[in-house]
Amino acid sequence: MRGKRVLLREDLNVPLKDGRILDYKRIDSALPTLRYLADRGARTIIVSHLGRPEGKRNAKYTLKPVAAALSERLHCDVPLVPDVVGPAAQAAAESLRDGQMMMLENVRFEPGEERNDPHFAKQLATLADLYVNDAFGTAHRAHASTEGVAHCLPSFAGLLMEAEIAELSKLLNDPEKPYVCVIGGAKVKDKVGVFNTLMDRVTAFCIGGGMANTFLAAQGVDVGTSLRDDDLQPAQAMLEHARKRGVEMMLPVDAVVSAKFDDDAGAHTVDLAGVGDSMILDIGPKTAGAYAKTIEAARTVVFNGPMGVYEKKPYREGTRAVGEAMARATARGARTVVGGGDAAAAAEELDFAERVTHVSTGGGATLEFLEGKELPGIKALEA
């Protein structure tokens, strides 16, 4: 690829506050592909989005801080071109020399991006000779820079995209057993697809978060004022499905509760019978111990959501216990994967991200992959 201009789609949608980057994980995850291209003499044109500017220029969503961070981490100049397409972008692309790179301004400043406008995709394609999609986190979006442009240029997966597909595919294709899915989050209905896809594969589900309350309520347990789905039918159907398949659905036997969500000082542990009018905000120590024992005995573990409101100190021990058990399982040779989004944020916050096999950079993309859905950004590379 020496001398070739490569249009590289990355997901550098990092959290910012007052122009300061709060989390560099997505930037650091992109570095191997950027270095690979530079070392081989490619002329790299980096494309990314940031936030939701809705097709309009908005200084709040400029990629200037990201370009500066890349320059610092790569020890080379990564200039930000103020346009995405047009004469200025074309001239900048044509001025690149072997091994150099530049970044286009936020691709979502262009109204044609999220519409997957074929004309805009062709404009992007004119900047380069090859296209590489390394943005797994946006692979579930059929946008011009993630799907459309792949039909205009010879197209390839980047190293991060390749790694994500390889690791997540192992969770679906003949995983080693015992196989445990640790699943949390607010609502059962948001993860019905994951439950249904993994039901035929896993040995057990360890369930926490708001969705555990829904499953408990579906079994007739009084969960007080806890967050849960109004419709219990999906949870009831899933429990029956698991019973028929011989899959263990592990649910809390105790909980950390409080009278109100913002009453951290009132947090205390009760058995389920003692929830009363309180709100469940984390799994209790008995539950955490049972989950940890199951996880440590597993050969494959996927963590797909926190066990409680881990952002608050009184309600993070359940998620911490699960993470530590995953780390111990990893040390014993198990494959352990953190499924992106809130799960990845919890793993970073509670310091077990570096001690598992893989932490996905996707949020919605990871969820849809685990649901067995076809992701447009990946399908376009296979065409």
Of the residues 184, 341, 362, 363, which is catalytic?
A: 341
Catalytic residue at 187? yes
Angle, CA of 218, 187 and 166, to the nearest 5°: 120
113: left (phi > 0), else alpha (psi -120 to 50), else beta? alpha
Catalytic residue at 26? yes
Beta strands across the sheet bearing 155-157:
80-81, 101-104, 43-47, 5-9, 130-133, 155-157
Range 213-242 burial, b when 16+ CB lie within 10 A, else e: bbbbbbeeeebbbbbbbeebebbeebbeeb
Catalytic residue at 372? no
Q: Is the Cα torsion angle 16, 32, 89, 379 positive or negative in sign? A: negative
Q: How far is CA 176 from CA 46, 180, 201, 330, in A?
A: 38, 10, 10, 13
* φ and ψ at residue 183, rounded to 5 degrees: -130, 130
Which residues, in sequence order, are bridge partners of residue 81? 104
Looking up tokens 């859905």, which residue turns up? 373
Angle, CA of 115, 117 and 118, to the nearest 5°: 150
Contact 220, 329 (CB under 8 A): no
Q: How far is CA 180 from CA 41, 198, 216, 298, in A?
A: 44, 10, 20, 6
Go through the chain and tell me how many residues it has: 383
In angstroms, the CA 367 to CA 339 distance is 7
CB atoms within 10 A of CB 36: 16
Catalytic residue at 246? no
Looking up tokens 């999220």, which residue turns up? 114
Of the residues 187, 201, 228, 320, which is catalytic?
A: 187
Q: Are strands 268-271 and 254-258 parallel, antiparallel or unpaired?
A: antiparallel
**Could you give the residue numbers annotated as active site?**
26, 187, 341, 364
